[in-house]
Amino acid sequence: MKTWLMILVLTLVNLRLCLGKDAPEDYLRKGREYILQGSFEQAKIELGYVPRASRDYGPARLLSEVAKDAIDRKIQTDTAVLLCRGIDSGYNDQWDNALVLFDKAVSLEPDYPKAYAMRGNVYAYKGDYDRAIADYDRAIELNPANAGFYNDRGITYFDKNNLNQAIADLSRAIEMDPVYQAAYFNRADAYISSGKYDQAIADYSALISMDGENNDAVFSRGMVLCYHKSRYDEAIADFSRVLEKSPQDTEAYYNRGVAYAAKRLYDQALADFNMVVIINPQGPLAYFARADVYEKTGRLKEAADDYRFFIRNAASADFGLIQRAQERIKSLEKSS
């Protein structure tokens, strides 16, 4: 009887974990509700089901830390509730309300570092980078062993275009927490902005080594390989890997098509641009790219048709490409 009971319990646990991966926002919501009720142990359990790869992992991680600190009596229940409400407000883009709540939390617990870090996040979002950095500085002063504080300050330095300091802070976060995936992504962004493409590729590769299912890292590495290093075969391999898991990913098809075209593998490029058009018939950029390939392969009428479609549907931000398409149509008309 005990054996069957144990099997049933393990089955339910495994099922719940699987469900958690499918609906992380449900576990985030339950975790918030438990914190507001003062049920911190249950909140921590629920929040633990939110996977790292989920968009909800960031707020879940913060809420889980709040719940743990409340369990360990590092903060009062009232402070935990204020922080939870502040995180919830930020998650719903109610930043002014979040700032008020975090101000109250700082007043209640002036030696609690995470309250400063959370308020710093709001200042950073509102573009008040100096105040954000001041709050991160205070958080680090109170707890220099928290990798998240360095990550957040690094992002803020990046937003201020202080790339060297951003990389230094993000590197420190990674040293402290070698599996801190967000810090790798953020440092890769800073490396790209600094023109350090090999280092960015190394960061994406590290992420892929940690989690082979991380399509964002695979796609991002492919983009750097394609557009910054002209390593087209490796880029094609990365975009193909993304498509194995996400066969409707138009960005992967489009960028693989660009890489094929750069290698003059025009049949493969056309196949990819055609897939983009099939999946998203109104997306104009694939028509421009396909027109260019049609032109290179002598299919001039089809090229002109695609350029015209692009001009009719392109956004105003694509003004330079619109001009280019108009020029190409005139050239094609002269040669026909």
DSSP 317: G
The H-assigned helical ranges of the chain are 2-22, 24-36, 40-47, 57-71, 77-91, 95-108, 113-125, 129-142, 147-159, 163-176, 181-193, 197-210, 215-227, 232-245, 250-262, 266-279, 284-296, 300-313, 319-335
Q: How far is residue 300 from each of residues 280, 289, 303, 332, measured CA to CA in Å? A: 23, 14, 5, 7
pLDDT of amino acid 16? 42
Summarised one tens digit per residue, pLDDT across range 85-126 is: 999 899 889 999 999 999 999 999 999 999 999 999 999 999
- The more confident residue out of 145 and 51 is 145
Residue 167 has pLDDT above 90, yes or no: yes
Residue 3 has pLDDT above 90, yes or no: no
Summarised one tens digit per residue, pLDDT across range 6-61 is: 333 333 334 344 444 447 889 999 999 999 999 999 999 999 998 876 778 888 98
- C-alpha to C-alpha distance for 138 and 113, rounded to whole angstroms: 7
DSSP 216: H
pLDDT of amino acid 12? 36
Q: Tell me how many degrees the CA angle 96-130-100 measures, rounded to the nearest 5.
A: 20
What integer best gives the mean pLDDT of the chain? 91
Cβ–Cβ under 8 Å, residues 114 and 69: yes
Residue 194 has pLDDT above 70, yes or no: yes
- Nearest Cα neighbor of 158 from 142, 170, 176 is 170
DSSP 316: G
Per-residue pLDDT band at 1 (split at 50, 70, 90): very low
Q: Where are the domains of the chain?
A: 22-144, 282-336
Per-residue pLDDT band at 4 (split at 50, 70, 90): very low
Q: What is 22-144's CATH number? A: 1.25.40.10
pLDDT of amino acid 11? 35
Residue 211 has pLDDT above 50, yes or no: yes
- The more confident residue out of 273 and 317 is 273
pLDDT of amino acid 8? 34
Residue 201 has pLDDT above 80, yes or no: yes
Cβ–Cβ under 8 Å, residues 314 and 284: yes
Cβ–Cβ under 8 Å, residues 261 and 289: yes
Q: How far is residue 278 from each of residues 288, 316, 318, measured CA to CA in Å? A: 15, 24, 22
